Chain A
Amino acid sequence: MMRSKLLEVEHVTMRFGGLFAVNDLSFSAANRSITAIIGPNGAGKTTLFNCITGFYKPQIGRLTLHHDDGPVLLERLDDYDIAKKARVGRTFQNIRLFARMSVLENLIVAQHNTLMRASALSLAGLLGLARYGKAEKLAVDKARYWLNKVDLLDHADADAGSLPYGSQRRLEIARAMCTDPLLLCLDEPAAGLNPRESLELNTLLTGIRDEHGIGLLLIEHDMSVVMGISDWVVVLDYGRKIAEGTPVEIRNDPAVIRAYLGEADDEDEDR
């Protein structure tokens, strides 16, 4: 399996007033692999995600996504162009589905740009031309594929907001995948899931990595997910990177243990 650099984060700093939410952070995430970002609450994980997906513009630093046909500088694009042109998909910590639209509609909206092109800005569709019908059929097929993957095929016509919590999480991942991303950013995908759902999530995410050959970046507190599926782990604390490495390395890193368990550990080490 070839793994090349997909996302490169260089010296990124995001400041809110006097608070450095992300401070001079550099790391890279590889293609066809799962990179986990972990750290205590308030470490700047979600801020980093918002910088990568364009919802925030970092004051300093560079974010590069390596496409086959050359690098794309993320910090120069608007958020919707990061999804459309740079092809970075994301999910949210507090799920953001289109609650009063059906599950299928959520997945069709995700393919908006493809459908707009096919329908000549909806005009072809308005006139009932066949080429829009064909494009819509392809979109439905793709939606069906992902619904099958996340096990929601039976609920395709239900309102997204009526699904149970775990299903909503899976639907949000399916929706992000319908945009054909090269990098998928997941903000705490296992939050609120029970152990069985958590296990299913692991299978889904490794499946996406192996079958679709894209990079996944994931913020997660659930260590069974982080340690179970990550290929690389980056640890943040107070906006800085305190460690990175394979899950095994991170598990035994004293700086990480200190950040998570507090200063009491120092005394243990001193003894």
Chain B
Amino acid sequence: MAGVNMTAALRDGVIGAVVAAALALPMLGFRLVDSSQALTLSTRFDWVAWAALAVGLGRFALALLRDTLPGRLPALPDWGARFPKMRLYVGWGMAGFAFVLPFLPIADRALVDKATMVLIYVMLGWGLNIVVGLAGLLDLGFVAFYAVGAYSYALLATKLDLSFWVSLPLAGVFAAGFGIMLGFPVLRLRGDYLAIVTLGFGEIIRVILQNWQDFTNGPAGIGAIPRPSLFGLVFTANAPEGKTTFADYFGLDFSGNHRVIFLYFIILVLALLTNLFTLRIRRLPIGRAWEALREDEIACRSLGLNPTTIKLSAFATGAMFAGFAGSFFATRQGFISPESFTFIESAVILAIVVLGGMGSQIGVVLAALLLVGLPEWFRELQQYRMLAFGGAMVLIMLWKPSGLLAHRSPTIRLNQEAG
């Protein structure tokens, strides 16, 4: 028995080593060296040998251990299903922690800054969750609405001199308008086809921002975007004409941290509003219609639900929250350019939703912490950061293929005592 296994394992190891050697030869074995005069070819056959050896031994060990290792990673228990109330407590606990975070002794400026960044993605994730998680419309161009929100505020503030609090709802409205604009042409599409068109839409918006020099200032971006005020109190060291600073009003010493904390609270409140809205709308006819559309569009039609309005409302609502997040991003950075709105942003937001477990609100928070928070902390790893990112995604997909928290509880119950 063991002998047979040994032969098979050896063969597996040798095949692995040969394949690795064949792959490594062009990739590791040859190297162009740019000496002062010309390009010369240097060889590193020892690297090829090491790579082949490592892969061969690895395959060999894996083949030997195959019988003792479990076939796949054990699935985690579905905590959401086991403790239905836990979700609620965890949610409140997290929200409470988020509110006191800036005042904890561990919180320095860098931490609050990172937390702000994570919250932006939490909000974007919650927005996209409406489109992808609830309505089941795979959107790869979500960053477009984020960009529309950011540019709306930047342009309204710099050209029309509107304040953040006036521009915020306007930016949401503009983004929702763009959501409907995207919605119309893709009404008939689903799944992969929808994903491709939305991806294209995201790129179109970015390319327009980049090339419409007169309006958006092109690749140079828009700078000097005004900061938000708290009921007219500004967060600067010296008050401009006719204004009072936050520090003076409350008799505090001026500190740059005030503004950082203030921005943190704005995004926290915006994100929580998004969450409350989603939790509420799931229990309303339109929210249930979104979920029904995700499950079966033809059945929806047979019940008299108009898929056009349902899809457009999902696109518009999701886009609106992205628009809010975008204006916040613009006011926080003070400078925006098309570079901030590339496809990778859409991919990260979608990854947050998928990893969190489609439709799960707390899952989005966990995934955002994992995908945005951790890489921020691991910046020291430099280029290996993305490797860790990819590795984490592969692990989660092996471990919890339907996302971190995939449990869905009904929005209405007949037998109250059961829930």
Residues of A close to B281: CB separation below 8 A: 122, 126
B412: interface (CB < 8 Å): yes
Give the CA-CA distance A78 to B302 in the complex, in Å: 10
Whether the pair A122, B285 counts as a contact (CB closer than 8 A) is: yes
B398: interface (CB < 8 Å): no
Which of A94-102, A191-199, A223-231 lines the interface with chain B?
A: A94-102
Contact of A98 among B299, B304, B415, B419 (CB under 8 A): B299
Residues of A close to B285: CB separation below 8 A: 112, 115-116, 119, 122, 125
Contact of A125 among B284, B291, B419 (CB under 8 A): B284
B188: interface (CB < 8 Å): no
Whether the pair A96, B288 counts as a contact (CB closer than 8 A) is: no
Contact of B298 among A55, A89, A121 (CB under 8 A): A55
A53: interface (CB < 8 Å): yes
B289 nearest CB neighbor, chain A only: A112
Contact of B301 among A55, A98, A104, A108 (CB under 8 A): A55
Residues of A close to B298: CB separation below 8 A: 55, 92, 96
A185 nearest CB neighbor, chain B only: B302
Residues of A close to B413: CB separation below 8 A: 102, 104, 156-157
A79 nearest CB neighbor, chain B only: B301
Residues of A close to B412: CB separation below 8 A: 102, 104-105, 108, 136, 140
Whether the pair A98, B410 counts as a contact (CB closer than 8 A) is: no
A176: interface (CB < 8 Å): yes
Whether the pair B296, A105 counts as a contact (CB closer than 8 A) is: no
B418 nearest CB neighbor, chain A only: A157
Whether the pair B414, A157 counts as a contact (CB closer than 8 A) is: yes
Which of A4-12, A38-46, A65-73, A80-88 lines the interface with chain B?
A: A80-88
Known: A105-B410, A140-B414. A92 touches B302 (CB 8 A): yes
> What would be 15 A-B contacts, judged by CB atoms less than 8 Å apart?
A78-B306, A80-B306, A83-B301, A96-B298, A98-B291, A98-B296, A98-B299, A104-B412, A104-B414, A112-B289, A112-B292, A126-B281, A157-B415, A157-B418, A176-B302
User: What 13 additional pairs, Cβ within 8 angstroms, besides A105-B291, A112-B285, A157-B415?
Assistant: A96-B298, A98-B299, A104-B414, A109-B289, A109-B292, A122-B281, A125-B285, A126-B280, A140-B414, A153-B414, A157-B410, A157-B418, A176-B302
